[in-house]
Structure 1
């Protein structure tokens, strides 16, 4: 194998193994920064050795062994310094040998090392923004620059966010392990929230010139698939995965050739990715088989499936969608769910039904400056023939959105209402 090909193979292997390496190392050295350094050291050793010896049969194990040796060497140095400075050799000899501990821990079957890293990066002690950035850095392997570009933030801002997140985790003395029982269930909600936050920012960008950022969606889907492989009995993990796969199937149809927005009812369904739809429906079936049919993510996936199963927009079962939203409203009370429920009712029972529901939530503080609210109301009014009122709502929505493409779409709808 040529040197260039070997280097490409090393980089590919490291991208695949990086998160698992950091997860396994973090559980032992109890330090995220140190674990990242050790993983990077293993990469440098591979870049030095593999061009001469060839790529090993089990490259992931080789990288872990290399990082393990470096961790042990560092621990031995620390022991020697501590012995010299503290003069407590006798006490150290009487205690459990930390080097032995590290070797034993490294040799253990740490099948949930990735899961422990995900649960740590998504700990609710951190803000949602910090959790997302840290997750993309540690598990996704994205650079600070890539994360900043994805979220339209300054690189120093993202860098500081990640540094503070690591420091918060270290100061809190968190154990780098998968929580059990009730705590696991509570923490899992935080993990799923972060993964879906990342997906949503890709599916419907909140700011900037682009409506969608497919790379972020793909990263969230990859994280979801990792979770599904590690937490095989958690229905909501499969519910979220199903939701993301089905929604992602529509990405190619959500924008026109010029980048402008195409609404769900106007999309060319032949452009929907049937492979992703099949994956999503299979994940939904798994979530329901695990008893999670009433889970918030599984219910949202069931809603997405209603659209995915309709070959033509006229085939959409809006009555079923309205019923599902009634159930989702009980499982996950939210003004956003109420707004989406109003949209479903407008399609199932007519625009006046949607207007009645949207008027009931118009005064909710969380929706006061939320562009989709006047956009939805504008659509209901337009379909009800109340064009002057609809125009005002579309213009209001255009003022509120921070996405340039969405603004253009809303202004076009306002123009379509006439003067």
Structure 2
């Protein structure tokens, strides 16, 4: 008997398991910034070396994601997620034993980065949107995206407490055990996607689908905008705690700020997920990037205090990952959902290239200049650019979709 297609399963089972996968995967990932100072003090790596490990992680996640997305489109999301969860646990366990920058790059960088391709947004959202009717896809993507924020809100403060109580190595081992539970959650999204019907009105396979996307200017504009999103997320998640500590604030303020980003993004992901089903997604995306520029500019123009850090985290959190359901929604709206994981995986590659420069580049800037000021200024500038880039996107379905 062939595996049951996700679309024929109970949609709530698929949504809950997909969201929980992202909750664990992203919650652990967003806590990595808290390990920077303890790892520095223990094995003697600097900010740029740690930032490079996170940058490598983001780059590997991006480079491998289109291939892993294509595997999920062919073999089913469950199998891919199970392997991803197992490798995630292995990568964290090996990270706990590193003694230098090379080991950090191979474990937390390469292995964890590859593992995340199977358990983060591309695979989980691809499974979720195929499990619900077309008019609910934006909301489904928003629910899965919110899962990442729930994880950030819950697991970042826990990581801070565990590091303080037991040490960073022990915390890595505890989170490795948590990551292993994703292998079981993968069962909930198991099953192969329904094969495309090769008829005179639907001759498309994966090759033609890729060519169709590559010829569409909106696909490249979405990719450029997602690069900016990746830069922002990696820069803030990796370096905000250190930035605040350098301003004389207690390390707990940085942990609380990251947790608040996650908390407020639960609301933001839900709101923007709903907006994806109601308003033109490209206009909402432009508004999100413009909002980020304004929030960052206001934050830097005021004295850096615990209160201003809290308000910044709340505002940025609301705008944090609202881009994900909207960007994935535009991919599905324009090109259809049959090859959703493949096409969104390519767009996500651009996001992760941005993440590479956000994590490593900000650390490099800090080492060269002694501050994060230039990184903040660059973040504001590219946010304004992203707002402009989304406006001309042709967001109507391609001719093939209309014919079908």
User: Do the two structures share a fold, i.e. TM-score over 0.5?
Assistant: no
With a CA cutoff of 8 Å and minimum separation of 6, indicate the structure with the bigger relative contact order: 2
The answer to which structure has the higher helix fraction is 2
